[in-house]
Amino acid sequence: MKLPYAESYKIKMVESIKRSKSFEREAWIKDAKYNLFNLKSEQVFIDLLTDSGTGAMSDRQWSEMMLGDESYAGASSYYKMKEAIKDILGFDHFLPTHQGRAAENVLFSVLVKEGDIIPGNAHFDTTKGHIEFRKARALDCTIDEAFDTTLDYPFKGNVDLKKLKKVLKENPKEKIPFIILTLTCNSAGGQPVSMKNISAASALAKKYDIPVLFDSARFAENAYFIKIREEGYQDKSIREIVREMFSHADIMTMSSKKDAIVNMGGFIGLRNEELFTKASVYNILFEGYITYGGMSGRDMNALAQGLYEGTEFNYLESRIGQVAYLGQLLMEYGIPVQFPFGGHAIFVDAKRFLPQVPREQYIAQTLAIQLYIEGGIRGVEIGALLADRDPITRENRYPKLEMLRLAIPRRTYTNNHMAYVAAAIKNVYDRRDKISEGLRIVHEAPIMRHFTVELEKI
């Protein structure tokens, strides 16, 4: 008998979580204005809001915390992080930042100006936010296959090379500061980009003399999918695949709260010294001096250690295996989910789950609220609320997909938790015909509204 995967670690410390009753949750979510971000964490039993900064650090990472060097300049922790980045990702220069969006803020302050166009595969919302904040445009060139949740396609994060070529051809080079590849593609459902696609997209960008930026939050999960799904990579190690992936990038940003398994941290990786020098100025202005930029020494140490742990095959196999375990249970219950399953999350297709709720009533948010009331589970809407308004016309943007994302924190929950989540979703599914009305907005912010939006039941 082939032995199944099992976690490549055991548990040394645990944290209690609280169960509650559904009538309590009904009152709490009403008080929270039907915005799951407004809940207190103690009002949540299983928290699948995000996999960002919510993972469990290892004993080695905690040991590294003790060794942190908190010197303002030239700390050994800075050099430890520099060495790990060079070793695993191959970048000579880097700037630490407090998280991923801070890396975007620093870098885009140098590179993005009004009127620019930045093509890519479904930019993450903070990335898009930082582009639109600078009055530039993020152009989504993801392949159409990504938007059909029933289609079995191994690399739904891929860039459509024809769409990309059209953008590069039709716009002057000066207007395109870089192209972005998001690995894995969060907004498309944690879907990977193939090596073939990475290589072709970057060759195309090079032809037009445009730099390639990797948004690398979940790069290791992307490498795992390449290893198991793409021909020619089965015998390569995750680290070899990672190095090959990054050989196609000129610049990278990383929210290290994901695949480096830390609670806070991020960085920019660069090859060009001139760009590094320019970005350093903004790093000092927004984040902190270049050898700590928004991070304490102990956090840089834990991050360096996390980059090694996050790129171990056995860890990735059990991590992605756990996500697939939840996905499999949901499929067995007949629940519509993005397939194949993503690396960090299961995306429930809310339009197929609740076809009777109109899109103007926020389908995926309606489902998210129902799941919270059912089981105390907090997911997040990836739909019209997140898509926000068009910055120019101010009209609501309705994305092709309305998803409820169930993001699984790393090394945090057990498969029993996954079984509980699946059962709760099944209960909502069994009573879906009774959910006919959604939500309306009573208050929203001018940009990135989904964090603070206030809603009421219709």
Q: Mind telling me the catalytic residues?
A: 72, 124-125, 215, 217, 258, 450
Cβ closest to ligand F0G, residue 47 vs residue 215: 215
CA geometry: angle at 345 spanning 339 and 348, to 5°?
A: 55
The Cα–Cα gap between 129 and 40 comes to 26
The Cα–Cα gap between 364 and 371 comes to 11
Structure tokens at 18: 């609280």
Binding stretches for ligand F0G (CB under 6 A): 50, 52, 99-101, 124, 126-127, 182, 186, 215, 217, 255, 257, 266
Cis-peptide into 452, omega within 30 deg: no
Amino acid sitting at position 292: Y
Cβ closest to ligand F0G, residue 99 vs residue 322: 99
Radius of gyration of the chain (CA): 21
The Cα–Cα gap between 289 and 295 comes to 10
Minimum separation from the CB atom of position 344 to ligand F0G (A): 8
The Cα–Cα gap between 428 and 31 comes to 22
The Cα–Cα gap between 456 and 443 comes to 10
Angle between helices 313-332 and 415-430 (to 10 degrees): 20
The Cα–Cα gap between 197 and 359 comes to 33
Minimum separation from the CB atom of position 256 to ligand F0G (A): 8
Minimum separation from the CB atom of position 124 to ligand F0G (A): 4
Structure tokens at 52: 């960002």
Amino acid sitting at position 420: Y
Minimum separation from the CB atom of position 273 to ligand F0G (A): 25
Give the count of alpha carbons within 13 A of 208, CB side only: 24
Cβ closest to ligand F0G, residue 101 vs residue 449: 101
- For residue 145, give the DSSP letter: G
Cβ closest to ligand F0G, residue 100 vs residue 340: 100
Cβ closest to ligand F0G, residue 131 vs residue 357: 131
Nearest 10 degrees: Cα torsion 24, 27, 28, 30: 160
Minimum separation from the CB atom of position 186 to ligand F0G (A): 4
The Cα–Cα gap between 61 and 303 comes to 8
Closest chain position to ligand F0G (CB): 100
The backbone region for 317, taken as left when phi is positive above 0, alpha when psi lies in -120 to 50, beta otherwise, is alpha
Cβ closest to ligand F0G, residue 205 vs residue 408: 408
Minimum separation from the CB atom of position 104 to ligand F0G (A): 7
